[in-house]
Structure 1
Amino acid sequence: MVHAHPRFAIPPETRFVLDAYQRRREFGDLRVAANRHRLAAWIVRTERHRFADLGLDPDRTAAAIAAAPPTLGSAIGTVFRCYAERFGKPRWGDKRPGYYQHVDVITRLFPGAQFVHVVRDGRDCVGSLKHQPWYRPDSYAAIATWAEAVDYGDAAADRLGPGSYHRLRFESLIEHPERELAALCAFLGEEYDPAMCEPAAVARVVLPARKTWHDRTLGPVDPAAQGTWRARLDPWEIELCETVLAGRLRANGYEVSGGRRASPSRLARYAATASARRLAHRKRRMTDTVRRLGEPSPAEVPAPPH
């Protein structure tokens, strides 16, 4: 929908933004030309980064990265700027659900970034994840992921403020796309364009054919994409979702069916899963804090075009 706007380019999901940040020390001082060239080659040549999905010439893109200002944010931003130029558009964005855990990293790389948080009924999210060919964790992890995303989103909203954070309810978007997209454009400082309500017109251009799980984008916006959890979740999954997510669901406008409470054994397993994930997140943050000692502060890193 956003890519259909004449001023925005939104690529398919890539895998190099967070990877580059976590491995930034390996590339050394980016004021050294050789280090920038090495970083550029790593971005465009590493298969897991899915650079090929962007439809860009790797050599030209690598040259543009090497010629960019000597900051990691500028190097990464150059890739997306090249993608936007492919479509003749002045602004770019990026989407990846896992970014909710790394808002601090994104704001460090791109101090002027604006965040759009799409919130969907947690039960539908769990039902969708468990049927995706690429999803390996179990339903306990899927439920914990949605709880985290909502909690992290709430924290980001408080920290970033209304000028940098916009929450968009998925169900409202598919029921009233014009209204919700107009509000989104206002947040982004752009005029709404009716083409945004016709995402199918650009879906085949921007989405790799292998991503069959995005087939809904090839048709009209369909309000029937909500409430599918009733058919996709097992009874115990519904019980667990509504037991552990009830407060978050209601806070985001979703009614709880009022069924049975999840069993103690299911609750104990969920608690262990959620606790392990929280511990992993804390370890990641502590590691990053240590690594950042002596590095330039965000204020010392120039913001690249976005």
Structure 2
Amino acid sequence: MSSPRHPFPIVVSVPRSGSTMLRLMLDSHPELAIPPETGFLLSPQILAAQHDRDLCARLITGFPDGAPAWNDYGIDASDFLDAARHLAPTAGLADVLRLFYATYAERHAKKRTGDKTPLYVTAMPTVASMLPEARFIHIVRDGRDVALSWSKTWFAPSRDLAVLVAQWSAMVREARREAPASKYLEIRYEDLVSTPETVLRRVCAFIDLDYTDRMLDYPDRAAGRLAEHQARWASDGTLLVSQPDRFHQQWRTTRPPLEERIGVWRTEMSPADLASCNQAAAGLLDDA
């Protein structure tokens, strides 16, 4: 009988909710390595190939289709594909995923690993069915602050703040409705910023990991970890976002958490935008 697997932490959220900060905190633990976001299980093509070991590995190294992110992980694609071919003939997607995470952890001399893919927030049942050891940590931030931050990124689906708050509301509601109860922990961004040790102790207990103060020192390592984020290119050679721009989007994580980043909507949002955002949230801002 195989030994039970360690809980596998996956940080999920609406984008711009503090998931990178939480990833870096967890990654600062001496036993835990968290790669840049993956999203492999958001791909219908990868899920459809789940029983084909070699095809799964090839699709993962080329994900997302048209703008692969594989270079972010620092793993040689040829070596990974060769290692996948040496898995059991009956191996499938779950085995290939575990190989990827184990390879990443080994590269960083860590015993355990996890994931930080915000958009898994609406795909938790799918991820849990593939990786039963998954434990989801959902970080929730005030939707008005999320919208202000999200609207300034290259990957924002809209520049309209009310549209972004409506999407935030829909995603948070779906996450709470679909989350596997025993595998789900919800934390607040605002609490993580103001009382990080208290929140991180909860997170560590949830994933069976001893708490260490080294997690609070994440800014010391942040710049080096963020350097993994390479430029993203489309398959036609078009630059989607440069490495400096990707770093700039996350630069605040190189500093200790600042409580003044809580409630920035109070000074940065116009009365008209605030009214439209409150309406778009359909009451969720009152109890989020």
Matched, 1:104 2:125: yes
Superimposed CA distance per residue, residues 195-249 of structure 1 (whole angstroms, 9 cap, x where no aligned partner): 1112112212322253210001111222222111234333322112222326312
Matched, 1:39 2:56: yes
Matching residue within 81, 88, 91 for 2:102:
81
TM-score normalised to structure 2 length: 0.77
Is the strand fraction higher in 1 or 2? Answer: 2
- Identity between Structure 1 and Structure 2 (%): 29
Matched, 1:7 2:31: yes
Q: Read off the aligned partner of 2:280 and give its amino acid letter.
A: V
Partner residue in 2 for 1:214: 250
Go from structure 1 to structure 2 and tell me whether the alpha carbon gap of 1:62 and 1:147 turns closer, same or farther (over 3 Å shift): same
Distance 1:178 1:5 in 2: 13
Partner residue in 1 for 2:155: 134
Matched, 1:143 2:165: yes
**Structure 1 residue 29: deviation in Å?**
4.1
Partner residue in 1 for 2:77: 58
TM-score normalised to structure 1 length: 0.73
The answer to whether the Cα contact below 8 Å between 2:62 and 2:69 also exists between their aligned partners in 1 is no
Q: Read off the aligned partner of 2:26 and give its amino acid letter.
A: V
Is the helix fraction higher in 1 or 2? Answer: 1
Distance 1:10 1:2 in 2: 7
2:185 match: secondary structure = strand
**Structure 1 residue 15: deviation in Å?**
4.1
TM-align CA RMSD: 2.0
Go from structure 1 to structure 2 and tell me whether the alpha carbon gap of 1:51 and 1:97 turns closer, same or farther (over 3 Å shift): same
Runs of 4+ off more than 6 Å: none
Go from structure 1 to structure 2 and tell me whether the alpha carbon gap of 1:127 and 1:79 turns closer, same or farther (over 3 Å shift): same
Superimposed CA distance per residue, residues 271-304 of structure 1 (whole angstroms, 9 cap, x where no aligned partner): xxxxxxxxxxxxxxxxxxxxxxxxxxxxxxxxxx
Partner residue in 2 for 1:191: 210
Query: Where does structure 1 lack aligned partners over 5 or more consecutive residues?
Result: 31-35, 253-306
**Aligned residues, how many?**
242
Q: Read off the aligned partner of 1:127 and give its amino acid letter.
A: L
Partner residue in 2 for 1:278: none
The answer to whether the Cα contact below 8 Å between 1:15 and 1:49 also exists between their aligned partners in 2 is no
1:48 match: secondary structure = coil
